[in-house]
Amino acid sequence: MKQKLSIVKIGGNVINKSKELDKFLHDFATLDSLKILVHGGGRKATEVADAMGLEAKMIGGRRITDLANLDIVTMVYAGLLNKNIVAKLQSMECNSLGLSGADANVIRAHKRIVKEIDYGFAGDIDAVNTSAISLLLDGGITPVFSAITHDKKGQLLNTNADTIAAELAKGLSDQYEVELIYCFEKNGVLRDVNDDNSVIEEINSSVYDTLKKKGIINEGMLPKLENCFDSLQNGVHRVILGPPELVKNRRKKFTTLSI
């Protein structure tokens, strides 16, 4: 029987709030199963860019990563946020280790091919090095992933944290029974984005298609759910979405996906 592995993605909105982040990390630290944390970036990269007089370049809500901004996300995601999260988890007796995709070559990517938009140094994932991750997990270590990857040719790349979580889940499903948990500021996938009680508790592929057609699933949620269904189709045991407390406490409503 495969060992259980929880892969938890925590979004930028929790990262921004020190008390909420601490509470989440406490919950995460006490998870019994093997576990992996993937964290987003939050506001901090923009704050540092602002302080350095650099303009953040966005097109359609997505960051354009030129070299100066790549340096900033590398500093903030893989340095400041990742190491502070690791230090906090260590204080909670969770033996964590922070990673970018370059470390032990755990996630190899390529610079996104330019079609209509040049996203700059954005990385699309090619491969997950499961043996290096297993070495850590089997050694009692909890990997903490920042949203930075590399191309194995010396170039770091800025990479979507949701996608990192999904690709890790897919890659590790051969060896582990993977539960993928997306934590964000809502109670789950909502029927009405303004009503946090309108959680859709079960979404299967056909419900998903209907929700998409009706426009109930909004723009920000679409790529997240595409990642989720892709991971379910590739061996991931379970995918759930909801607020940070979902890691520990499943008494309230949340969203479960199935195919």
Nearest to a second copy of 111, 253 (CB atom): 111
Query: Cβ of residue 195: shortest distance to a second copy, in angstroms?
Result: 37
Task: Please name which of 106, 104, 86, 82 lies closest in space to residue 95, comparing C-alpha atoms.
Answer: 86
Query: Cβ of residue 111: shortest distance to a second copy, in angstroms?
Result: 13
Query: Cβ of residue 214: shortest distance to a second copy, in angstroms?
Result: 43
Distances (CA, A) of 239 to 155, 205, 233, 255, 259: 32, 13, 11, 9, 10
Distances (CA, A) of 232 to 167, 186, 225: 11, 22, 10
Nearest to a second copy of 77, 119 (CB atom): 77
Q: Residue 65 pairs with which residues in a beta bridge?
A: 120
Nearest to a second copy of 14, 203 (CB atom): 14
Query: Cβ of residue 51: shortest distance to a second copy, in angstroms?
Result: 4
Nearest to a second copy of 149, 173 (CB atom): 149
Contact (Cβ atoms closer than 8 angstroms) between residue 143 and residue 38:
no
Nearest to a second copy of 44, 186 (CB atom): 44
| Binding positions for a second copy, rule: CB under 8 A | 48, 51-53, 71, 74-80, 82-84, 86-88, 90-91, 95-100, 102-105, 132, 135, 139, 141, 148, 150, 152-156
| φ and ψ at residue 96, rounded to 5 degrees | -95, 160
Nearest to a second copy of 48, 216 (CB atom): 48
Output the six-digit token pair for 171: 């890659």
Nearest to a second copy of 120, 188 (CB atom): 120
Starting at the edge strand found earlier in the chain, the sheet holding 202-203 runs 96-99, 142-145, 34-39, 3-10, 176-183, 238-242, 255-257, 202-203
Contact (Cβ atoms closer than 8 angstroms) between residue 204 and residue 257:
yes
Query: Cβ of residue 156: shortest distance to a second copy, in angstroms?
Result: 5
Q: Residue 59 pairs with which residues in a beta bridge?
A: 62
Query: Cβ of residue 136: shortest distance to a second copy, in angstroms?
Result: 8
Burial of residue 64 (number of CB atoms within 10 Å: 0-12, 13-18, 19+): middle
Task: Please name which of 125, 112, 81 lies closest in space to residue 227, comparing C-alpha atoms.
Answer: 125
Query: Cβ of residue 108: shortest distance to a second copy, in angstroms?
Result: 9
